[in-house]
Amino acid sequence: MQSEFASLANQALIASALHNFHLFIMVVIRLSGLMTIGPLFGQIEVPANVRVLLVLTVSLIVTPTLFTQAEIGFNTWDINQNGYLSRDEIPTDFLSRYDGILARYEREPEQGVNFNEYHLGLKLSSTVYDFLWKGVGEFSLGLSLGLGIVIILSGMQMVGEMVDQQIGIALGEVFNPGLNTSTSINGQFFFMLGVTIFVLLTPLNGHVKMLGTLIETFQTMPPGEALLGKSTIFLLSDLVHQSLALAVQVALPLLAATSLLSLTMGYLGHSVPQVNVLMIGFAVRSAVNLFVLLFCLSSGGEMAVNLLPQVIDQLGDSFRGIYKSE
């Protein structure tokens, strides 16, 4: 009798250890997506062993809090606070999971489900394909968060490239380790300016806010159930437009000044043929554009300060399925 009890206890202990280890692995994969491409964390300047250590450390801290995170998410969706989730309280992106729970318990939609029924916990993967499929979902969730921020920072880099094209130094490209591409001198400068603004955002640093947003996804998407809903896909598409709009708005004063300067030099060359417009124009264009660049720095920094926190909040809303395109 005692040996049977010890055997059952050992089996329960092994099952609990396997379950917790599986939870930990899923948390690691979700955080790894952010560390792959996210600003600051995913840059090549940060050694790979440092990123791995950071992922493992944060995962060890987050894994014991998963039950509390799920409870917070349940209470947030439970609008009437009756302890049951009804179908009209669930965002559209999560309705398929909710309907599956109703079918499992043979429950009518108007009856709803309680927390214990909704938070089923992570099931151990029965096959390698099942594990890989869950891993792809977890990795893509973290990747989408980092990608959204990088899209905006690439808009800042586009500003510098437009500036260098107008000044005439676009051929002097340098390697941008943040995006693993070659870019112009001012393109690299504006990109690093955006990263600096992102890190020094107040009242909460941008990288801390971004990491906190990813951790909050466990409130609505337990480990192993991560998905990219329509809200997130639409938002990433909108961020491309916002990035382009940011680049055009910041570089617009310089483009206007360059156009006026080109008209002036063209009129000068037509009215005074003796003047070598080509030699004079290059020096004048560079001096004027460098002067106007000072105004672009102030306006670009202000727009980045206002836009980056907004983008992080929008990404968090999309993960919760409540983002609406403006």
The angle, 0 to 180 degrees and rounded to 10, between the axes of the packed helices 185-199 and 277-319 is: 30
Q: Environment class of residue 53 by beta-carbon count within 10 Å: exposed (0-12), middle (13-18) or buried (19+)?
A: exposed
List the one residue out of 264, 244, 263, 224 whose CA is nearest residue 307: 244
The angle, 0 to 180 degrees and rounded to 10, between the axes of the packed helices 128-167 and 185-199 is: 120
Residues 76-86 have pLDDT tens digits of 888 888 888 88
Percent of the chain's residues with pLDDT above 70: 86
DSSP code for 325: -
Is 70 exceeded by the pLDDT of residue 6?
no
Query: Are the C-beta atoms of 299 and 250 separated by less than 8 Å?
Result: yes
Is 90 exceeded by the pLDDT of residue 28?
yes
Q: How many residues does the chain have?
A: 326
In whole angstroms, give the CA distance from residue 312 to residue 17: 35
Mean pLDDT of the chain: 81
Report the pLDDT value the prediction gives residue 174, as an integer from 0 to 100: 60
Percent of the chain's residues with pLDDT above 90: 9
Is 60 exceeded by the pLDDT of residue 316?
yes
Least reliable range by pLDDT among 72-86, 107-121, 225-239: 107-121
Which residue did the predictor score with more confidence, 272 or 293?
293
Phi, psi of 42 (to 5 degrees): -95, 5
Phi, psi of 184 (to 5 degrees): -75, 175
Residues 37-93 have pLDDT tens digits of 888 787 777 788 888 899 999 999 998 888 888 888 888 888 888 888 888 888 887
Pairing of strands 181-183, 174-176: antiparallel
- 163's CB contacts (< 8 A; 6+ apart) are 186, 190, 251, 254, 289, 293, 296
In whole angstroms, give the CA distance from residue 76 to residue 45: 39
Position 163 confidence tier, pLDDT thresholds 50, 70, 90: confident
Which residue did the predictor score with more confidence, 319 or 175?
319
Alpha helices by DSSP H, listed for the chain, are 2-37, 48-62, 66-77, 95-104, 115-118, 128-167, 185-199, 206-216, 230-271, 277-319
Position 30 confidence tier, pLDDT thresholds 50, 70, 90: very high
Residues 210-223 have pLDDT tens digits of 999 999 988 888 88
DSSP code for 61: H
| Among 42-51, 82-91, 158-167, 191-200, the range of highest mean pLDDT | 191-200
